Chain A
């Protein structure tokens, strides 16, 4: 069965650069969530989208923005990267009929 696809799998950037992370949800899933997980920490909710509209917002820095497109894929745009942004970024998807969230394998972002 198709799972949540995230790209790239690994990304290395330097301070003050920009990065774009992509998430392709499971087909027919209309809701996407983004999470950030720092080293040794628990996943922290960033932002979510339902039917291409932002549905909830967590501890997402102003330097980050995200959107969900007409094909339901989502992109997390990160600007002015800082060393502290180094983390694993997970995307999850679901639909209103589903109690479960399905997570991708994540994008490992390293800011040097």
Chain B
């Protein structure tokens, strides 16, 4: 499985933007970049995904480097409810319903 590297933890002030980095230097051409987050005592929750172009949805934005070897999840205005572990995951859709392989995500702490 292609692997990703994320910082173990990050802190951010409430109502400020947060940029969560992810390195995936061994990404293949068919790997999609997925982000999930896990709030305490809950199952992982889908945040966003992309292939080559930057993506936006109501939760976040995903900025993908031109060489695709890194990406950044952007929370535009962090709230206390965004405190969670954020996982950056590569998923090869060529194999149909490929499983998600979770690595060690980034624990985001929001400071009030």
- Taking Cβ atoms with an 8 Å cutoff, the residues of A that contact B are 4, 31, 33, 35, 42-45, 48, 50, 55-56, 58, 90, 92, 94, 96, 99-106
> Among B32, B44, B46, which residue has its beta carbon within 8 angstroms of that of A43?
B44
> Among A43, A99, A105, A106, which residue has its beta carbon within 8 angstroms of that of B102?
A43
- Contact A99–B43 (Cβ < 8 Å): no
- Taking Cβ atoms with an 8 Å cutoff, the residues of B that contact A are 32, 34, 36, 38, 42-46, 49, 85, 87, 93, 96-105
- Contact B44–A45 (Cβ < 8 Å): no
B36 neighbours in A (Cβ, 8 Å): 101
Bound Cα distance A44, B100 (Å):
9
Q: How far is the CB of B29 from chain A (nearest CB, A)?
A: 17
- Contact B43–A44 (Cβ < 8 Å): no
> Among A55, A101, A104, which residue has its beta carbon within 8 angstroms of that of B100?
A101
Closest 8 CB pairs of A and B: A103-B43, A100-B46, A31-B97, A42-B102, A43-B102, A90-B43, A45-B99, A103-B44
